[in-house]
Amino acid sequence: QLQLRESGPGLVKPSETLSLACTVSGVSISSTHYYWAWVRQPPGKGPEWIGTLYDSGRTNYNPFLQSRVTISVDTSKNQFFLSVTSVTAADTAIYYCVKHLTIGASRYNFFDPWGQGTRVTVSS
Amino acid sequence: EIVLTQSPDTLSLSPGERATLSCRASQNISILLAWYQQRPGQAPRLLIWDASNRATGVPARFSGSGSETDFILTVSSLEPEDSAVYYCQQRRDWHLTFGGGTKVEIK
């Protein structure tokens, strides 16, 4: 069964870089069937898509975050990563790693399943 | 950016009642909308994709309808475990966006 688990520091100082990892189990992250993404949810608000890693290695980012975000992958460890530079209090959120919905051989820009999430607070 | 507006903010109903949640898009998104359920302390869970398709394992009491700019999520007969916040999300534009959510409270 496919599972995703986020890991990383729970506290980051303003202006520093937030770095998270997502460990995927149950499937190979390099499979051509799957797209992977990061979504965050600030306290009391709805989710916000951060960016997607496609099977080709191409990435696509939320235009509001694009200048500060990088998603990368390490297929040998079956992990993908999120980096957000120059963080501020507005980056405080629960960060989820997710897989895009797959129906047969088709991939959709919806998210299923989700990891359990990791809470990140930006504070000095 | 496509803005999704959900209403009402909160719905308070008794077990067995019917819940009707609305999601309105700022422009035509065809049927390219999903609904998620988020129970307290949990990650969101996909319920409905492309407006009316139930995701794997979702009970039949959940149904979705609508197209273009107006969408509805219906829970035909509420169960206590349906207490949650429900979000809509569009995939019409590559900048994927979510609504602000509707909280469903079970009396």
Question: pLDDT tens, A36-88?
Answer: 999 999 999 999 999 999 987 899 999 999 999 999 999 999 999 999 999 99
Chain B residues touching residue A109 (CB < 8 angstroms)? 91, 94, 96
CB contact under 8 A, A49 and B97: yes
Give the rounded distance of the alpha carbon of B105 from its chain centre.
14
CB A85 within 8 A of CB A17: yes
Which H/E stretch holds residue B12? Answer: strand B10-13
* Of the partner residues B55, B95, B98, the one whose CB lies closest to the CB of residue A46: B98
CB B85 within 8 A of CB B103: yes
**B34 at A interface, C-beta within 8 A:** yes
* Of the partner residues B46, B95, B99, the one whose CB lies closest to the CB of residue A111: B46
CB contact under 8 A, B98 and A48: yes
Which H/E stretch holds residue A102? Answer: strand A93-103
CB contact under 8 A, B89 and A117: no
CB B5 within 8 A of CB B90: no
* Of the partner residues B43, B95, B101, the one whose CB lies closest to the CB of residue A62: B95
**A117 at B interface, C-beta within 8 A:** yes
CB B26 within 8 A of CB B71: no
**A45 at B interface, C-beta within 8 A:** yes
Helix, strand, coil % in chain A, rounded to nearest 5: 0, 55, 45
Neighbours of B51 (CB within 10 A): 22
User: Residue A32 above 90 pLDDT?
Assistant: no
CB contact under 8 A, A108 and B50: yes
- What pLDDT shows up at residue B33? 98
Average pLDDT, chain A: 95
Reported as a single tens digit per residue, the pLDDT across B40-76 is 999 999 999 999 999 999 999 999 999 999 999 999 9
At A30, the pLDDT band (50, 70, 90 cuts) reads confident
* Of the partner residues B49, B95, B98, the one whose CB lies closest to the CB of residue A101: B49
